[in-house]
Amino acid sequence: MIVCPNCNHQNPDGAVQCEACYTPLPAMATCPSCGSKVQADASFCGQCGSSLRVAAPAAAPSAASSRDLDIPDLIALEPLVTPEPIPAMGEVNEAEPVPAASAPPAVPPPAPPPPPTVVPAPLNPPVSPPVTAPATNRTQLQVSSARLLHVQTDTTIELPANLTVVHIGKPNDRIPPDIDVSGFPDSEIVSRIHADIRVEGGIYYIEDVGSSNGTYINNAPLPMGNRHRLRAGDRIALGKGDRVTFLFQT
C-alpha cells in the first residue's frame, strides 16, 4: 500500500495518484542491496543503510585516439599570378609620381576666455527648508524557518536552514544524525537511523527510514518508504507509546 503524503489515504501498489485527493504519489524503488521497498528519490536505504546513488560509468576512449592517423604531406601548388616585388622602405616607384605634400590650412589661435564675473554673496542668505524624502513602502523578504518542540522537556530544536535532508536518530558510524535525540528521556526506543525530514521548495516532508519501533504522525503510523507533508502543529512520535514526541512548528 502507498500512503498519500497529503491526506494519508492508503492507495494500492502501483498507483500514480491518490484516489481521494488526486495528489501525485511518490515513486517506489527496490534497494539493490537488500531488496527492500524504498522511495525512488531516497539517498540511503532505510533498512540496510546502503547508498542508492550510482555513479555514471566513465566514457570509453574513442577509437580515433587509440591509433595514430597517417596524414599525407601537402603538395606545394604554384601561384596562378606572379607577384610583383614590393619596393623597400624609402624607395620610390618611378612609374608612379609622388604627389607633393600640401601644407595644412592655417588655424587661428583660440580667443582667450572672458574673465569670470564675481557675484558678491548676500549678507543674510535665505535658508532653504530641508528636503524630506518621500516615504516608500519597502517589502522585506521573510525567510521561512522550522523547528521541533520536544513535548516531554519543552525543548526547542531549530532545523538546519542549509540542509535539504535532516537525519533524526542517535550517533552511529554510517549516517550521523543532524538531530541527536540520545539526550532525551526514553531515547532507547529511538533507532540510530530513525527518520528523515526533507525540504523541497519550502515544503517539509518526514519519512521513516527503517526504524525498529516506527514513526507516528498525529497518532497514526507512518509506513516505511512513504512520506508525510508536515504542517504547523503536527505531532511526531518516534517509537511506540508517545514517549519521545515533537511538535512541528514554523
* Residue 87 pLDDT greater than 70, yes or no: no
Q: Residue 174: CB partners within 8 Å, gap ≥ 6?
A: 49, 193
Q: Is the pLDDT of residue 56 over 60?
A: no
Of 39-48, 134-143, 194-203, the least confident: 134-143
| DSSP designation for 3 | E
- By CB atoms closer than 10 A (0-12, 13-18, 19+), residue 168 is buried
Does the structural domain 147-249 have CATH classification 1.10.565.10?
Answer: no
For residue range 203-244, list pLDDT tens digits in order.
999 999 999 999 999 999 999 889 999 999 999 999 998 999
CA distance 30 to 7: 25
Tell me if 217 sits within 8 A of 29, measured CB to CB.
Answer: no
| Cα–Cα distance, 146 to 160 (Å, whole number) | 9
Question: How far is residue 172 from each of residues 4, 67, 165, 216, 218, measured CA to CA in Å?
Answer: 31, 51, 17, 23, 28
Which pLDDT band holds residue 94 (cuts at 50, 70, 90)?
Answer: low
Residue 72 has what pLDDT?
A: 67
What is this structure's pTM? 0.44
Average pLDDT, the chain: 77
* Residue 172, pLDDT score: 93
Max intra-chain CA distance, the chain: 113
**pLDDT tens across 99-118, in order?**
555 556 667 777 777 777 76
Cell numbers that stand for 215 in this block? 514513526
Angle at the Cα of 175 from the Cα atoms of 170 and 181, rounded to 5 degrees: 15
- Of all residues in the chain, the percent with pLDDT exceeding 70 is 64
CA angle 13, 19, 24 (to 5 degrees): 75
**210 vs 46, which has greater pLDDT?**
210
Out of 33-37, 119-123, 245-249, pick the least confident. Answer: 119-123
